[in-house]
Amino acid sequence: MKFNSPPETNDRIVKLGFSSDIEISDEIEFSPYQRGLREGVDIAVLFDETKANPTGADCAFLRYEAGAYVPGHVHMGYETVLVLQGDYIENGQTFTPGSFIVRAPEMFYTYLEDTQNLGVT
């Protein structure tokens, strides 16, 4: 893939006004997410328009167990992450609760989590 400028130059990271874990309702049901590919990751889908339209929007809670691993991949559209609990480590950078991350299209990502965390993406 060839870029005119590195995609990460278009990323935005905002630290929101909370710095401790945000609890979510026990009514939110998580299930394993892409086992065999995303080890130690659970998902609770809020909505998913990508089944009808591959470029459609989706939103979900993702829970990463300590030691979770997601292999490198590229998102063709923007991706947003709001860290709600724990430390979220992406491409070697650590984000804490209250971190709101907007990743530019075509950015390469990999995750290796040292601690359990929860975010909405």
| Structural domain for 25, as ranges | 7-120
What's 28's domain CATH number? 2.60.120.10
Number of compact structural domains in the chain: 1
| Residue 1 falls inside a structural domain | no
Domain annotation covers residue 113? yes
pLDDT for 118 equals 63
Hey, what are 51's tokens? Answer: 């089944």
Give dist(CA 38, CA 42) in Å, integer: 9
Report the C-alpha gap between 52 and 68 in whole angstroms: 29
Q: Would you say residue 43 lies in a domain?
A: yes
Which pTM was predicted?
Answer: 0.81
Q: Cα separation of 8 and 89, whole Å?
A: 16
Q: Mean pLDDT throughout 80-90?
A: 89
DSSP annotation string for 26-48 = TTSPPEE-STTTSEEEEEEEEEE
Residue 47 maps to a domain:
yes
Please state, rounded to an integer, the average pLDDT across all residues of the chain.
Answer: 82
